[in-house]
Amino acid sequence: MYFFERLGPTSFRASEHVGGAWDPSEQHIAPALGLLAHMIEAHHRTYREVPLTIARVSYDILGTMPIGVVEIEVSVIRPGRTIELVEARLSHAGRIVVAARAWLLQKFDTDAISGTALPAIPGPEALEEWRPEMIWPGGFVRSVEARRSLLENGRAVTWIRTDAMLICDEHASQTARALGLVDIANGLAPRVEIERVSFPNVDLTVHLFREPEGEWLGFDTMVSFGESGIGLTHSAIHDRRGPLGTVSQCLTIRQ
């Protein structure tokens, strides 16, 4: 099982497992975000003997796209020895659908002062199995295994993992694989029934203070709806070692 199949150096064909949650005939944006991260890392390795590490990536989602062939272009905006800013654009049929900008930073040994005030969450074994496909349609949602504790509408702790490869028969880093899952956060704790209101995100920004490890990715999620059609989904993201970063999504709320 895989999300994309490579057709050429910069082109990929999406599989049925990327089917979207709002419209199953369109791509769920989550795997595409992981694909962009993978291509940023691959491009980076072509000119860096010791690669820098993705610390932040922001994605602007410029529209929807069908399940089909996509192209990716990568460029360096701000080169540097220890800090770089890289841009990547994913397009379908000549139209840019997602624009990403990533800060890549050099690693230094700060183990002696490492730590976080983000609270830990229970591990996946402590939570009940949850089937998101009972709420959401689409191939992507069906491709993940989930465990969840719904604390209230708009508040949940969830763990997810998938057996799907990001790209068929191609290695992807733990960071790229995780970034190919994080957009699911917006569907983990709906404030209202999805039949009553739609609340797609127009962007996604991830900050990572360490690289993810293992197959499980945890979310401590809070969803906020404003009174004028704008919302926010914010999650602390975890692996079995504990917190590793955050993800935020700006929502457009439509009744």
Q: So what's the pLDDT on residue 10?
A: 98
Per-residue b or e along 22-46, where b marks 16 or more CB atoms closer than 10 Å to that residue's CB: bebebbbbbbbbbbbbbbbbbbbee
| Domain spans of the chain, in order of start | 2-106+124-252
Reference 217, options 163, 144, 160; nearest CA is 160
pLDDT at 190: 96
CATH architecture classification, 2-106+124-252: Beta Barrel (2.40)
pLDDT tens by residue, the chain, 255 residues:
999 999 999 999 999 999 999 999 999 999 999 999 999 999 999 999 899 999 999 999 999 999 999 999 999 999 999 999 999 999 999 999 999 999 999 999 999 999 999 999 999 999 999 999 999 999 999 999 999 999 999 999 999 999 999 999 999 999 999 999 999 999 999 999 999 999 999 999 999 999 999 999 999 999 999 999 999 999 999 999 999 999 999 999 998
157, 220 in Cβ contact below 8 A? Answer: yes
Token pair belonging to 28: 């769920």
Cα separation of the two ends of the chain:
35
SS (H, E, C) 114-151: CCCCCCCCCCHHHCEEECHHHCCCCHHHHCEEEEEEEE
The pLDDT, as a whole number, for residue 132 is 95
Residue 184, SS3? helix
pTM of the complete model? 0.97
CA contacts within 13 A on the Cβ side of 23: 9
